Amino acid sequence: TVRFKNELERNITIKLEPLSDELIGRLTTSPAELAAYIKMTHERYKINGKRRRNSADSPPDGHRLKQAKISSYFNGGGTTPAAADGGKFKQRNIEYYFNRNGLHKDHETNGLHERASRSMTPKLSRRTSVASDAGSVESGSSSTSRLRVRRKSLTYSDDSPSRTTTTTTTGTPVAGSGKKRRSAAPPKANKDGEYSVESIVDIQEISNAPVFEIKWRGYSSKSNTWEPLANIRTCNAINEFLQWQLESYVETINEIRQELGETEQYREQVTLHETKSFKQILAEYEKFDPLAFDSDMVLYAKIRANYAKNKRLHDRILANVGLEMSYRKRRDQLVKMKQFEDMINEFEPSSKIAVENDEDSDVPQENFKYIKENLAGEGVTIPDDPPYGCECEQCNFRSDCCGKMAGSKMAYNTKKRLNAPPGMPIYECNKRCRCSADCTNRVMQNGRKFNVSLFKTNNGRGWGVKTNQTIYEGWYITEYIGEVITYEEAEKRGREYDAVGRTYLFDLDFNGSDNPYTIDAANYGNIARFINHSCDPNCGIWSVWVNCLDPNLPRLAFFAKRKIEAGEELTINYQTQINESRAMDVSQDEEGQPQTEQPSDDGGPGRGKPDPENLTECRCGADNCKKYVF
């Protein structure tokens, strides 16, 4: 700020502000830009005088002298008629200045449009995509979003869009020519009286807040307006513009962050952040305004690039770094969960899986490989060539279908719902059968038909799976898939898993207690790997054979034991085992009653006798909870 006295001994104060190179270029090459900027500046620093002058009074001598000096500068020594209109006089002076210096009046092209034409990627939304890749400043997403704009005193000219709402779509801009752009048809608002944003040109600070210069689609640069952040918050272009600006000033911003990190206030916020609970981090994530923070950072970087400082901006940024820490931590978590969600849904195109965690900062295991069918481990071969298949035209409980041919019976009713007691082996139609792919006896092999969510439980049971829609008794849920390994390898891995208190081993012991094979879903598997234990489960386990008819290599299918409401967690009993002596009695026991599942005496299906030292507390919350899971 510079203060001095003029020739009339009046105090004069001049405030210098750093302007961007793009804005300086426009102001020195376009009279329209300069006039609009002067008008905006007058409005910005307008002071309501206490004295009022009668409009009929003639100006004082000092004022006439000031006008004469201005006229002499622009007109080469000429004077201004006393009756000249002030606004027209100012415009003529500006135009004469440009003409005298050989500058083209209509030249409005600026370097920002040329630099902004490079390709970038748009930023993700706050909850679903929290990664903020950069996008082209001038060309954004084809999707449109709505915003409401109040244009009062910040308009560049009178030919700007007159309605108060706009549809923010972004597209490739055309560099301004200084004249109003002509097109085959004049620009029109849509049926809601809304206009489209073509690009965001610049950012400045007015009244301690960021404002953005907007180029409207279908209008020349003379119609640009300055809009506050609140008016363009939902516009796709704002994310792209700020990302581009952050990249342009990345070195200066890194210096700013380094300086902030050396302050005592910053270190205190880091220490405080480390003690915050996840619920506090969630609350601060919702409270933090990343657009406002990035806008302040860009403004401060521009000021610092001009070797100046702004204590107000500095303090505002420093006051919000704690919120930014929480925001970045939650955003990074959401990004990783979205990446995991996208990965598993590549294998489940017919039924989606959502991933959510509102309990802690944990993310799914990053090295987990999602697979659609069992993977044969070392020393294991899974046959895929069935020796026979049915000749049914339409498979049903009366036909000689695969179940009857294997000594069992048809496991599904006409609605493809399970109709088999626990322990009954299920033989689905295989690739040698004559029936079609939509045969009643093809259920598990056609996959799950409803959406589920992978979520973090709130009682220390880790990740769980819940259904997003109502499931009825007998519906197929999913298959337990993983790496099929030998008994010896399972014993070796079991000791390692017991040491860390977590195991995903599932013995294939339907054909006897020797169980030569085991499924390990620790590193390879599907959604079934995350289904938790319950002493009162809503899902049951059945052994199923399709193309592999080796009795020692069944596939494990989960079916609903009862109606399961939307939002309810899916559970199985880890300790369920069917009595081998009655496993092949597919209809009834000695007293003519259907078989029931019996609790296993070992630590899960076929894992041997329970070790008292490896007891795990059960947290299922069921009324019949056994308190421990072996």
pLDDT digits (tens, 9 = 90+) for 310-332: 999 999 999 999 999 999 999 99
For residue 555, the domain's CATH number is 2.170.270.10
CA–CA gap between residue 466 and residue 359 (Å, rounded): 15
Residue 590 · residue 491 · CB < 8 Å: no
Is 279 inside any structural domain?
Answer: yes
Task: Confirm whether 122 is domain-assigned.
Answer: no
What's the domain range around 87?
2-44+63-100
pLDDT of 219 over the 60 cut: yes
* In a domain? residue 258: yes
Name the binding residues for Zn(2+): 390, 392, 395, 401-402, 429, 433, 435, 439, 535
The answer to whether position 256 is within a domain reads yes
565 is a domain residue: yes
Number of domains in the chain: 3
Same domain, 256 and 322: yes
Pair (256, 382) in one structural domain: no
User: d(Cα 225, Cα 220) in Å, to the nearest integer?
Assistant: 11
Claim to verify: residue 526 and residue 416 sit in the same structural domain:
yes
For the stretch 220-270, pLDDT in tens is 999 999 999 999 998 889 999 999 999 999 999 999 999 999 999 999 999
Determine the 3-state secondary structure of 614 from DSSP. helix
**475-529 pLDDT tens trace:** 999 999 999 999 999 999 999 988 887 889 999 988 876 789 999 999 999 999 9
Q: Could you say which DSSP state residue 471 is in?
A: B
| 261 and 376 fall within a common domain | no
Say whether both 313 and 422 belong to one domain: no
| Domain closes at, from 334, 361, 385 | 334
314 and 394 in a single domain? The answer is no
- 519/608 same-domain check: yes
Task: Count CB atoms within 10 A of the CB of residue 443.
Answer: 23
In a domain, 13, yes or no: yes
pLDDT in tens, 371-401: 999 999 999 999 999 999 999 988 998 999 9
Domain membership flag for residue 516 = yes
Buried b (16+ CB within 10 A) or exposed e, 21-55: ebbebbbebbbbbbbbbebbeeeeeeeeeeeeeee
Same domain, 303 and 421: no
Binding-site positions: 390, 392, 395, 401-402, 429, 433, 435, 439, 535
| Range with lowest mean pLDDT among 275-289, 438-452, 499-513 | 499-513
Are 394 and 530 contained in the same domain? yes
284 and 392 in one domain?
no
Look up residue 328 and give its amino acid: R
* pLDDT 10s digits, 11-69: 777 777 788 877 888 888 888 888 888 888 877 766 555 544 544 445 555 544 444 44
Write down the H helix ranges in 147-214: none
Could you tell me if 413 and 535 lie in one domain? yes
Q: Are 553 and 414 within one domain?
A: yes
Cα separation, 215 vs 225, whole angstroms: 7
Helices 321-345 and 278-287: crossing angle in degrees, nearest 10, is 100
